[in-house]
Structure 1
Amino acid sequence: MITDVKKKRQQLNLTQQELADILYVTRQSISNWENGKSHPNSDILKMLSNIQIDCHKQRN
């Protein structure tokens, strides 16, 4: 399961705002997750996993 949102976001080469737009959350939510102030729920983690898969498919 994805636990390091910042690392994954950087691997995807996305800004906090870009990831927030994709996940339909605020940039502040992304910041809070990355700083350990809060944690994404399971639905968001699934969406983030799917983003990784989609980006990987586009690169290949």
Structure 2
Amino acid sequence: MCEANAYLIKESGEEELVFENVDRVLPGEEGIMMEDIFGKRKLLRARIKEMALVDHKIILEAL
């Protein structure tokens, strides 16, 4: 599989898994809309900090 998992950086610096099997990432004014391989969507008030595609990771920071 080529899907990534999305992680939100906590205040402690730890990565918290917030969404699995991400297929689409749609940035917008209110944050990041993600959609998984099953069509489920999640909107997070965050911005992309880093994308590590070889590791299948999307790292987000809260707005």
| Normalised TM-score (structure 2) | 0.27
Which of the two has greater helix per residue? 1
| Normalised TM-score (structure 1) | 0.27
